[in-house]
């Protein structure tokens, strides 16, 4: 029930971090390198105050951080780099990116999954942050993909895609005070 606080840079050797309940990781201005973090349902994770490096590169469309049903991901003041998709939310889940977080992803920066017709209600919120789909002509090239019923909110942020900045194919989007380009 206490946050994990890094005391040095840490290269996690576990292929997939699975856990139950709520997990808080204070990077304490250090770098955490991970392959995959999977919230299988009902969990929440908050990662704050440092750098996160996604090491999974087998498929750019797979996500370094995945929130399955009824789970939540929060990135708070994190510099996050991954050679895959940054984070993806499934049914009734949420992604919150805030307080100067910068995401650089080769796949989608943030995304949703339209593969299950039940219980969407996904929420993706980006506030005072930046999401980049890094330039690679062989990848998705989209900073944010929102393709399910739910709510995408972008406020006072920079969204930069290689092919597309933001794709909204489902749900509602509220975008204010932000720059979106590709």
Instruction: Point out which residues pair with 131 in neighbouring strands.
Output: 103, 159
pLDDT of 56: 77
The Cα angle at residue 124 between residues 123 and 127, in degrees rounded to 5: 130
Q: Is 75:110 a contact under the CB 8 Å cutoff?
A: no
The end-to-end CA distance of the chain, in Å, is 42
* pLDDT, tens only, 12-53: 999 888 888 899 999 999 999 999 999 988 999 999 999 999
pLDDT of 116: 66
């Amino acid at each position: 029930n206490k946050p994990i606080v890094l005391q040095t840079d840490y290269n996690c050797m576990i292929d997939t971090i699975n856990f139950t309940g709520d997990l808080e990781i204070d990077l304490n201005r250090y770098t955490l390198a991970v392959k995959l973090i999977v919230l299988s349902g009902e969990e929440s994770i908050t990662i704050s105050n440092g750098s996160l490096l996604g090491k999974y590169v087998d498929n750019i469309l797979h996500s370094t951080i995945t929130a399955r049903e009824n789970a939540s991901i929060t990135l708070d003041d994190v510099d996050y780099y991954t050679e895959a998709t940054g984070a993806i939310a499934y049914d009734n889940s949420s992604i919150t990116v805030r307080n100067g977080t910068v995401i650089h992803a080769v796949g989608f920066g943030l995304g949703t999954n339209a593969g299950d017709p039940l219980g969407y209600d996904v929420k993706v919120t980006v506030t005072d942050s930046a999401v980049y789909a890094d330039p690679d002509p062989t990848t998705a090239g989209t900073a944010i993909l929102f393709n399910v019923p739910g709510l995408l909110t972008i406020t006072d942020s920079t969204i930069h895609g290689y092919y597309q900045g933001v794709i909204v194919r489902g749900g509602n989007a509220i975008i204010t005070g932000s720059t979106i380009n590709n």
